[in-house]
Amino acid sequence: LASGAGDAGIGSPSGNSMMSRNNYFNKNPDSSISMSKMDVIIPFSPDVPCDNNGQRMWWAFLASSMVTFFGGLFIILLWRTLKYLWTVCCHCNIKKKEAQKVNNPANSQAADGTAKGPDEKDEVVPASEVGWMTSVKDWAGVMISAQTLTGRVLVRVMNIYVTFSSFCLFYSPIESCQNFYKDFTLQIDMFFNVFFLLYFGLRFIAANDKLWFWLEVNSVVDFFTVPPVFVSVYLNRSWLGLRFLRALRLIQFSEILQFLNILKTSNSIKLVNLCSIFISTWLTAAGFIHLVENSGDPWENFQNSQSLSYWECVYLLMVTMSTVGYGDVYAKTTLGRLFMVFFILGGLAMFASYVPEIIELIGNRKKYGGSYSAVNGRKHIVVCGHITLESVSNFLKDFLHKDRDDVNVEIVFLHNISPNLELEALFKRHFTQVEFYQGSVLNPHDLARVKIESADACLILANKYCPDPDAEDASNIMRVISIKNYSPKIRIITQMLQYHNKAHLLNIPSWNWKEGDDAICLAELKAGFIAQSCLAQGLSTMLANLFSMRSFIEIEEDTWQKYYLEGVANEMYTEYLSSAFVGTVLCPVHVTLTTITASKECDVIYLPLPSILINPGNHVKMQEGTLGFFIASDAKEVKRAFFYCKACHDDITDPKRIKKCGCKRPKMSVYKQMKLACCFDCGRSERDCSCMSGSVHSNMDTLQRAYPLSSVSVHDCATTLRAFEDEHPSTLSPKKKQRNGGMRNSPNNSPNMMSRHDPLLIPGNEQMENMDMNLKQYDSTGMFHWCPSKEIEKVILTRSEASMTVLSGHVVVCIFGDVTSALVGLRNLVMPLRASNFHYHELKPIVFVGSLEYLRREWETLHNFPKVSILPGTPLSRADLRAVNINLCDMCVILSANQNNIDDASLQDKECILASLNIKSMQFDDSIGLLQANSQGFTPPGMDRSSPDSSPVHGLARQASVTTGANIPIITELVNDSNVQFLDQDDDDDPDTELYLTQPFACGTAFAVSVLDSLMSATYFNDNILTLIRTLVTGGATPELEALLAEENALQGGYSTPQTLANRDRCRVAQLALYDGPFADLGDGGCYGDLFCKALKTYNMLCFGIYRLRDAHLATPSQCTKRYVITNPPYEFELVPTDLIFCLMQFDHNAGQSRTSLSHSSHSSHSSSKKSSSVHSIPTTNRQNRSSKAREAGHKQK
C-alpha cells in the first residue's frame, strides 16, 4: 500500500496526506476493506464504503455533466422543432379560414355558431395585457440585473460564493471517498451549488433565446460544476474534475460591478474587464494542468502522474505565458504537454497584449483624482478656471505673501487638465498649503471631491490672453452657475474680461454681492486705471502697487529706485478706528492718525459702517465702528489706530509705544446697538446674521441686558433707527441725511453709497443755477456728464478739420483695431473722464485716432458723452498725430484690440510699441509752445484765486514748449510684461525683470493687465478693497447704472434734481504743484509730513504720494523729464520744488459759477515744464490771446 501510494501520489496536492493515510492503514491491519494486489490509488477512509478495488469513478462525474448538457440541448431543440411545426400548421389553418371568410362570409358566420344579438359584444382580449409567463420572465430579469435591492443582494452574494467556491476547490484532493452526512466541506459545497442551480434557473427564465443561453460560457460552467456534486452525494466520493471552470465566472466581475453602480467611467470598466479576463483565463488553465498532472494519462493507467499543488500550476502557467520558462516545474503527462502547446500560443498573445494595456490604463489613471480632506480649524478655498504656471504663480505670490501675517488657508486647485512638470514643481514647493485635483467645476462629482460646500470661497481665474474674450467670460459664467447650483451659499470671486458680460451674473438667482460675491472686470478696471492716469499721470502705477503685496527691497545707493521701492512696499489695509475718535470731525483725525499710526505716516480713507466716504469734509463726524483704509507697509502699524487711547497715548511722541492698554472700553451706545440688532447686509436679526463676527454675537447678551431691545423686522429696525436719529441728532453727523447702506457696498459701488449731503446745504448757488428741469446735463444717476446721442458722422474730423480746431489740453486715444477685433470697452475709459465731479468746462476733450470701422462698433456705448471726437486714420501716421496736436495733449493713450490674435507672445504688443516709439521720435516746432503760455497750477477749493499770495501757482512764468515727442505724456497698454523693455531705449531693464521694477512702469508710462491679478487675493481677504478701487477709478459707476446699462447698453439722461446734483459732491484725484503758490515754502527743502498736514487742515486735501523727476536726486541739473512714483513717503521726506503731489481734492462748488473762465484738470509734466495737474484758471482776455496765438501757430505749422 505504501509503495502504491508513493507511485501514484495523486490523492492530494501534496504527498504528506498520502503518507498519513498509509501509516493509518499500516497501524490498522484489521481494516474492513480487503486490499487487492493492485495499488490503491484513491485516498479513502475506512468509515466510508469505497470501491474495494480502489478504481476511479471520474467517468461517472463527467458523464453526469455530459448528459445534462446534451440532454438539455436535445430538449430545447425538440421544443423548438415542435413549436415550429405547430406554428406552421396553425398559420396554414388561419390562412384557410381567412380565405373562406372572403369567399363566403355568411357560411363562415354560421359555421362559427349562432349569430350574436345586437346587445352582445365580442370579447376582445386587450393586446396590452401581460401574461404570467412574461411577468415571471421580467421578474427574473430584474433579479439578475440588480435593479432592485433584492437583486443587488443576490448579485453580491453570487459574486462572493463564486470567489469562495473557486478558491476552496484549489485545496481539495483530485478524487477521494467522502460521506456527505459526515463531511462538512461536501455539505458546504452542496450548499453553494444549490445556490448556483437556483441562479441558473433565474437566468434560464430571464433568457430570451434559450438555445443561445444553453451554449453560453456561464451555462457550460454550471453544467460541469453543479451535477458532479449531486453525483458525489450518491457515490459517497468526490472528484475535483472540471470544477476549476468556476474561475471563468470571474470574467463577469466587471459586469457585476456595473450592475452595482461601482464602475462608472470607461477607463475603470475597461481596466476591470482586462484584469478579469486575464486572471480567469490564467486560473482556469492552471486548474486544467493541476487536474491532468495529478491524475496522469488514462491510457497510461494514470501511472505517469506527478504531485503538483494548484499554486505550483499557477506559477507554471505564468512563466510559460511570459516565455521565461525556468524549467523547475514542467508538465510530465501527455495531456498536460499537449495543452501547453496550444495554451502558449494564446497565452503569449494575451500576455503581450493585455499586460501592456493594463499597465497603460493604470498609468493613465488620474494622479490627482482623490478627494480633499478638510482639516479642523483650517479654512480652504477652491481656485479654478484658467490654471497655468503664470496664473498660479502670480496668484500664490500675492496670496501667500509674508506681509499677510499667517495665512491659515489651504488652497485647492481644480482643473480638468493635469499640471505640467513646471506647475507640478510649483505645487510641490507649496505642498503645505496647496493641493491640486483633476476635475471640472461643471461636474457635481468633482465639486463634491473638493468639498466646495464647506469652502470659504471659490475663486475663478480668467485667461486674460484669450483671443475670444466673450467666450472666456461665457465659460466663467457657466462655472459660476454650476458652483451656485451645487452650493448656493458659497462665496464666489470671479474674473471677467468684458464689462458687458457682468450683467449675465445678475441673472443667477443665488448671486448676491451682499454675501461676498464679486466680479473683477479686468477691462473695466484696466480702462479705469488708464483714465485716472489721464487726470494724474502715474496714478495707475501707484494704485497697482498699493493693491499688490510687495516685499521691501533695500537699496543703499541714492538712486530713484531706492525711493520708488520704499513706496512699493506700502499696501492698503483696513482697520477699525479707536473709540477715542468718536464725535470728532475727520480732518483733525487725519492729522492725528498721521502721527500715531506709524513713524512713516499712514494715509487713511474712512468707511463709516453704513456708507463709504473718501476724504470727507469737515462736516462729517466720526461714529462708532468706523472702518479706515490705511496705506502702510505693515499691518502692525495700522493696528495702532485701533489701540489708540486718548487717556494713555495723548502725550506719546514715539508711535511704537502705542499698544493695547488696560482702559475699559466705553459702553456701546443705544444707536450702535440698534445698528447691530438688524444687519443691513443679510436682512436678518443679529442672532441669525452671518455677516457679523463671532465676538459681536458673543457680546449681544450683555448688551441686551444693559440696553434691552425688542426683536424687530428689517423694516421696523430701519424705522427705529430713523426715529432714533431724529430724536438724537447729536449722535450723528450734522448732515444726517446721508444715505445708509450695507456694510458691503455694491459691486461697483459707490460713490452713490457715499455720504450724501442735503442738496439745499451745498455751498454756493450752483445747484439753483443747474437745476433746470427741462435740461438734461447728467445721466439718470447724476454720476456722469451726459448729452443727447450723436451720430458718429457728426463727430468725425478730417485731418484738415482737426488741424483747424487747434486742440490743446486734450486726451488722444490711439486705438488699433479692425472690424474683426474684440471690443476693448472704450466706454470704461471715457466714463471716468466724464465724471460729474468735474465741471463741464473742466472736461478734457477726447480724440480717438484709429480705424473708423472699429470705432463704429464702439460708438454705441460712446454717443452720449460730450466732447468726444474721432479722427479716422492710424496711430502710426505722423500726419494724423500732428493733426490732433499730440504735442499739446495732456495724455496720449495707446491701446490695441488686436493683441490676443497673435500666437507669438513677443509680437502681441508690436503695434503699441511701434506707435509709442513713433511718437517719441517726432519733432515739433518751438512756436507751438505759445499755446502753453500762462498755464496755471492747481487752485484748491476755498482759495482766493485773485490773491497772488494764496494761490499755489503764484508767479508762474511761461512754460517751455514740447519740441520732441519724448516729452509727450504717454501711457501704453501691454499684454506681455516682458515687452516693456522695448518702450524705453535709454533704460537698462533686464528682460527677466518683473514689471513693477521696470522704469516705464515706475514712471507710469506703461500698464499691463497682469497687475490686476493681485485683486483676486486682495478681494478675498478684504472685500472692501474692491469697493474702494472701483470708487477711485471708475468715476462713480453704481449698481443702478449697471442695471441700466444691462438693459439698454447706453446711458440715459436725467433731469437735474437736488438728489442728482448732490451726487456730484465727491472727491477726485489730482496733482498739486510745489514750485509756486501757498506750498512753495515747503517745496524747497520742506518735509512731506508738514505738507500733508497743511494741505489737509487748510484745504481738506489728502496727499498720498509724490510724482518726482527721475534725476531730482542728482546734484547736477539733468535734461531728463521722466518722473517716477513715490507712494506714501515718510513724514520727514524732503521735498523739491519740481515735485507733483498726488492728492484727493474736494468737489469745488464755486468753480462752476464763473462761465468766463476756461479750466481743466490734471496737468501732466511736459519736458522741463513742471505743469501741475489740477485746475488751470485763465482770464477771458488771456484765453482770447491764447486762441489767437494758437491759430497763428497752426498756420505756421502748416
118 pLDDT above the threshold of 90: no
Q: Which of 1163, 1161, 1165, 1176 is nearest to 835 (CA)?
A: 1161
With a pLDDT cut of 70, the percent of the chain lying above it is 72
Length of the chain: 1198
Helix H or strand E encompassing 631: strand 627-632
968 pLDDT above the threshold of 50: yes
Long-range contacts of 50-53, Cβ-Cβ distance < 8 Å, separation of 24 or more = 50/177, 50/236, 50/237
The pairing of beta strand 1102-1109 with beta strand 1123-1127:
antiparallel
**Cα separation, 734 vs 801, whole angstroms:** 53
Cell of 894: 495707446
Q: Which of 802, 808, 888 is nearest to 849 (CA)?
A: 802
1143 pLDDT above the threshold of 60: yes
**Cα separation, 1062 vs 1036, whole angstroms:** 13
Q: Which of 295, 296, 307, 286 is nearest to 169 (CA)?
A: 286
Cell of 292: 491532468
Confidence of residue 169 (pLDDT cuts 50, 70, 90): low
**Cα separation, 1184 vs 768, whole angstroms:** 29
With a pLDDT cut of 90, the percent of the chain lying above it is 23
User: Average pLDDT, stretch 222-248?
Assistant: 80
Report the pLDDT value the prediction gives residue 56, as an integer from 0 to 100. 66
Q: Which domains does the chain show, CATH number per domain?
A: 2-55 (no CATH), 59-72+133-363 (no CATH), 379-511 (3.40.50.720), 673-728 (no CATH), 788-929+958-1011 (3.40.50.720)
The DSSP letter of residue 127 is: T
Confidence of residue 1153 (pLDDT cuts 50, 70, 90): low
Report the pLDDT value the prediction gives residue 54, as an integer from 0 to 100. 55
Cell of 1114: 542728482
745 pLDDT above the threshold of 60: no
CB 813 within 8 A of CB 826: yes
Concatenating the DSSP letter of every residue in 168-227 gives HHTTS-SEEE--TTT-HHHHHHHHHHHHHHHHHHHHHHH-S-HHHHHTSHHHHHHHTTSH
In this predicted structure, which of 112-126, 300-314, 987-1001, 1033-1047 has the lowest mean pLDDT? 112-126
User: Average pLDDT, stretch 839-860?
Assistant: 93
Report the pLDDT value the prediction gives residue 427, as an integer from 0 to 100. 92
CB 264 within 8 A of CB 199: no
End-to-end CA distance of the chain: 131
Report the pLDDT value the prediction gives residue 812, as an integer from 0 to 100. 96
715 pLDDT above the threshold of 90: no
458 pLDDT above the threshold of 90: yes
Report the pLDDT value the prediction gives residue 699, as an integer from 0 to 100. 41
pLDDT digits (tens, 9 = 90+) for 639-684: 888 888 887 877 777 777 788 887 866 554 444 444 444 443 444 4
Report the pLDDT value the prediction gives residue 35, as an integer from 0 to 100. 38
Which segment, 363-377, 554-568, 1045-1059, 1121-1135, is predicted with the most confidence on average? Answer: 1121-1135
pLDDT digits (tens, 9 = 90+) for 506-530: 889 999 888 889 999 999 999 999 9
pLDDT digits (tens, 9 = 90+) for 595-611: 444 334 445 555 444 56
Please count the CA atoms within 13 angstroms of the CA of 193 that sit on its side-chain side: 23
Label residue 65 exposed, middle or buried (CB < 10 Å: 0-12, 13-18, 19+).
buried
pLDDT digits (tens, 9 = 90+) for 912-949: 999 999 999 999 886 444 444 433 334 333 334 344 44
Confidence of residue 167 (pLDDT cuts 50, 70, 90): low
Strand residue runs (E) in 395-472: 409-415, 434-438, 457-461
CA angle 1096–1102–1103, rounded 5-degree value: 110
User: Average pLDDT, stretch 803-809?
Assistant: 87
**Does 113 or 543 have the greater pLDDT score?**
543
In this predicted structure, which of 84-98, 300-314, 578-592 has the lowest mean pLDDT? 578-592
pLDDT digits (tens, 9 = 90+) for 244-283: 888 887 887 887 787 777 887 888 888 888 998 888 888 8
- Residue 761 phi, psi dihedral angles, 5° rounding: -100, 5
**CA 1058 to each of CA 646, 732, 770, 1035: distance values in angstroms, whole numbers, following the listed order:** 40, 22, 10, 20
**Cα separation, 1063 vs 1057, whole angstroms:** 10
**Cα separation, 753 vs 57, whole angstroms:** 99
Which segment, 58-67, 406-415, 870-879, 1165-1174, is predicted with the most confidence on average? Answer: 870-879
Cell of 94: 388561419
- Other Cβ atoms within 10 Å of 3 Cβ, number: 9
Taking the mean position of all CA atoms in its chain, how far away is CA 218? Answer: 51
- Other Cβ atoms within 10 Å of 585 Cβ, number: 17
Task: Tell me if residue 553 falls in helix, strand or coil.
Answer: coil
Which segment, 20-24, 76-80, 291-295, 844-848, is predicted with the most confidence on average? Answer: 844-848
**CA 343 to each of CA 241, 285, 296, 303, 320: distance values in angstroms, whole numbers, following the listed order:** 19, 8, 19, 24, 9
User: Average pLDDT, stretch 205-217?
Assistant: 84
Label residue 476 exposed, middle or buried (CB < 10 Å: 0-12, 13-18, 19+).
buried
241 pLDDT above the threshold of 90: no
The DSSP letter of residue 821 is: S
625: left (phi over 0), alpha (psi -120 to 50) or beta: left
Q: What is the average pLDDT score of the chain?
A: 75
8 pLDDT above the threshold of 50: no
pLDDT digits (tens, 9 = 90+) for 1090-1107: 999 999 888 888 999 999
Which segment, 479-493, 797-811, 1021-1035, 1161-1175, is predicted with the most confidence on average? Answer: 479-493
**Does 987 or 40 have the greater pLDDT score?**
987
- Widest pairwise Cα distance in the chain: 147
CB 335 within 8 A of CB 297: yes
40 pLDDT above the threshold of 60: no
CB 1174 within 8 A of CB 938: yes
**Cα separation, 356 vs 540, whole angstroms:** 58
Report the pLDDT value the prediction gives residue 47, as an integer from 0 to 100. 42
